Amino acid sequence: MNIMDNLMNVFIQTFGGTGDEIRSFFTPGRINIIGEHIDYNGGYVLPCSLKMGTHALIRKRGDDTARFASTNFDLQAEIPLDDVAFDPAHDWANYPKGIVRLMQDDGHTIGGFDILFSGDIPNAAGLSSSASIELVTATALNDVFSLGYEPIELVKLSQRAENQFCGVNCGIMDQFAVGMGKDGHAIYLHCDTLDYKHVPLNLGGYTIVVMNTNKRRQLNESKYNERRSECEQALAFLLRAKSASTSCQFDTKLTDLTPEAFAELSHLIPDETLRRRARHVIQENERVKQAVAALESGDMETLGELLNQSHASLRDDYEVTGLELDTLVSEAQKNPVCIGARMTGAGFGGCAIALMKKDAVDGFAEGVIAGYEKVVGYAPSLY
């Protein structure tokens, strides 16, 4: 029995009825190759979508009730569509509920429906399971109820749902990578203008291994929003200096500054912690540009070194790694078949990636798992 036949059976067991008029949709997860904590600072990122993702089966109802279920979680939710509100007890179901609410706020009428989700993205691993469930919900509702959104509008709506309904002050990278990905390519995205291009992910004799710490995290319970606030504070110091002096020249974002310009202006930020946060953002933004150039020229050694630099910056200046991610990356970097590794996603747990020789994955995995387990006490998962 294939996955869709199995999900159809689960849908019918969960919601009743027959298989008539049930429709299916899919959206992927994502990794970010480089450009971490840059999207909400308006700079460049380089994510790519994954084969892993989220399936959704949906069927209209004859009333004004929405029912949500998942093969990944025991919790189910049922809500009246005239009162869609955030409810902590609904846990994961708040992500699709947020899509419903934002579509209603846009003036659309959505009728009753049953929807079943099933994903193979590890939960809370930093591979954008939330963005994937948001986009698959948005895509399904847009199609089933003929709402007329364009793909880029669904991307923007999904980000707003996570910001305004779920309370995670994320940038647009995750939703954009999920909604606009292309097979065999990364996305070179400017998060302020949304200008982008697909960059062929030609890694030659190398491959990317995704390494899951298996440490759960919840972004709205982490220091993610705190880091965004710290960037805003650092920027405010620079903007005040800009208004008072013609020698302080940049536009409106930290990512408008080059590393060289920041070296001249960093003294204007009086707090050392805020200075380090800004330094990471500005240098990481530059690393994304260099990584695209390395990909396009086939220079994997440079790409690997940029990954290493990124992790060091996220560890030391941005402080979003921790024991598990640092151990995982260190175990990868000490293996000679790996030319670069770093955490990916928001941090505080979740996943890292390693750029390594394609023909040496098995031995690499064994060494990383053993080294990590010795330090942390349990094993990571590698994909």
Under 8 Å CB-to-CB from 209, ≥6 apart: which residues? Answer: 332, 353, 354, 356, 361, 364, 365, 382, 383
Strands 381-382, 23-34: pairing is unpaired
Number of CB atoms found within 10 A of residue 289's CB: 16
Supply the angle between the helices 129-144 and 94-105 in degrees, to the nearest 10: 50
- What's the rounded Cα separation, in Å, for the pair 187 and 181? 7
Q: What's phi and psi for 30, nearest 5 deg?
A: -155, 155
Q: What is the largest CA-CA distance in the chain?
A: 70
DSSP 8-state code for residue 276: H
Strands 44-60, 23-34: pairing is antiparallel
In whole angstroms, what separates CA 75 from the centre of its chain? Answer: 24
The Cβ-side half-sphere exposure at 269, using a 13 Å CA radius, reads 24
| 174 is a catalytic site residue | yes
Instruction: Spot the catalytic one: 63, 74, 83, 174.
Output: 174
Amino acid at 185: H
**Listed residue (316, 300, 291, 328) closest to 32, CA to CA:** 291
- What's the rounded Cα separation, in Å, for the pair 150 and 157? 11
Q: What's phi and psi for 208, nearest 5 deg?
A: -105, 125
Amino acid at 13: Q
Helices (H), the chain: 3-15, 94-105, 129-144, 151-160, 173-180, 224-244, 259-265, 272-297, 300-316, 323-333, 361-376
Can you tell me whether residue 60 is helix, strand or coil? strand
Buried b (16+ CB within 10 A) or exposed e, 59-84: beeeeeebbbbbebeeeebebebeeb
Catalytic amino acids? 174
